[in-house]
Amino acid sequence: MLNNKMNQPLRPTQHVEHFLVTSILDGAYSAGSVLPNERTLSEQLGVTRPTLRETLQRLENEGWLKIQHGKPTVVNDYWQKGGLSLLSTLAKYGEYLPNGFITHLLEVRGTLLPAVARFAAEHHPDVITEHLAGARGLPNEAGSYAAFDWSLQMLMARHSNNPIFPLILNDFGSIFKSMALRYFSQQKARETSCEFYRDLSRAIQNGGEVVEDTVKDAMENSIRIWKQTGFTGEADHETLEWLGQRTED
């Protein structure tokens, strides 16, 4: 039971999760297929049945599985049955993300973040403006931009006066932060973001509607830049390793 990314032993529940989730993502257990019974699966994985049952129930709650009393456990179509909590688990397995997943996630952000920014600008404009002022001193390297950009998104969510927004972004966090390293490795992405931060500062002075439009345009532009990087499917090994380390913390 080794964690290849961290070279540390997995706890029994982590071992069960890793086996089941990766088996689902790589198609070994496709949607509609059934898992072996608890006795067989616990022996196969070398864990106790209570440990197995605990993980199965959690994965059912996330939408991966359907447990039926007296019947085999069935693998769900997780795209249709899963919820936000499933994203947190999915983020641990970057090497198994399907092609185009990050682009789809950016499209979701492009729908969500403009409204978040508008509410934050309407309720707490000074807080957002003060944070944006820090962009002027950013070192011209990917890590600094990735950290600043994510902190801006979370700041806007927390000051939107809607407590649901931070909960949603938190589930996206580990994936966004890892992919931001790849995105901001492009000089064009850093330059474009600098312009966006300046535009957003000016937009805040003109009201929430202008802020919403500014953020929407920036999100659409970020998707175009991401597609131009050529990493719309699988990410590189270094980024995936970083992603695994962060989600294990």
| pLDDT 10s digits, 115-153 | 999 999 999 999 999 999 999 989 999 999 999 999 999
* The pLDDT value given to residue 172: 74
Rg (CA), the chain: 21
Nearest to 137 by CA among 128, 145, 127, 125: 145
For the chain, which domains are there? 2-82 (1.10.10.10), 95-248 (1.20.120.530)
User: Could you give the CA distance from residue 207 to residue 52 in angstroms, rounded to a whole number?
Assistant: 53
- Determine if the pTM surpasses 0.75: no
Token output for 151: 């902190």
d(CA 228, CA 150): 21
Q: Could you give the C-alpha distances from 42 to 62, 152, 248, in angstroms and in order?
A: 21, 45, 24
What's the pLDDT at 99?
66
Q: What is the maximum span of the chain, computed from C-alpha positions, in angstroms?
A: 64
Single-letter amino acid code for the residue at 116: V
What are the C-alpha distances in Å from 57 to residues 65, 67, 212? 8, 8, 40
Cβ–Cβ under 8 Å, residues 145 and 190? yes
C-beta separation of 12 from 48 below 8 A: yes
- The answer to whether residues 175 and 94 touch, using CB atoms and an 8 Å cutoff, is yes
Rounded average pLDDT per 10-residue block, the chain, 249 residues: 56 94 94 96 96 96 93 94 83 75 86 96 96 94 94 96 90 78 91 96 95 96 85 45 42
pLDDT at 230: 61
Q: What is the pLDDT of residue 192?
A: 96
Residue 245 CA to its chain's centroid (Å): 14
Predicted local distance difference test score (pLDDT) of residue 231: 55
Q: Which residues contact 35 (CB under 8 A, 6 or more apart)?
A: 20, 29, 41, 65, 72, 73, 74, 75
Determine contact, residues 79/85, Cβ cutoff 8 Å. no
Per-residue pLDDT, 69: 86
